[in-house]
Amino acid sequence: MFKVAPLHSNLMLVSMAVFIISAFYLNDPLIKTWAWAFLIVSVLVFISTMISLGNIPVGYPEHLNKLAIHKKDHYKKKK
């Protein structure tokens, strides 16, 4: 299995905006090749952000030790 680094959520928004803008320019004969290039890149960026949303970040076990809820005596019954 491969390790996935977390990506910022704004990257997904930018990739969707670039996809919509480049889709409008597909009919223009002067910049048709650039529109296809931006379309393909925005789809790849969107797919990569979707993959990073579903996986835990790199170094996940090391970060658990810093959280209080994962300490041994955190959950004790109160009388």
Indicate the domain borders of the chain: 10-54
SS3 state of residue 44: helix
Burial class, 42, CB count within 10 angstroms (exposed 0-12 / middle 13-18 / buried 19+): buried
CA–CA separation, 25 and 28 (whole Å): 5
26-71 pLDDT, tens digit per residue, is 888 889 999 999 999 999 999 988 888 766 555 555 555 555 555 5
Residue 1 pLDDT > 90 = no
Q: With contact defined as beta carbons under 8 Å apart, do 15 and 45 qualify?
A: yes
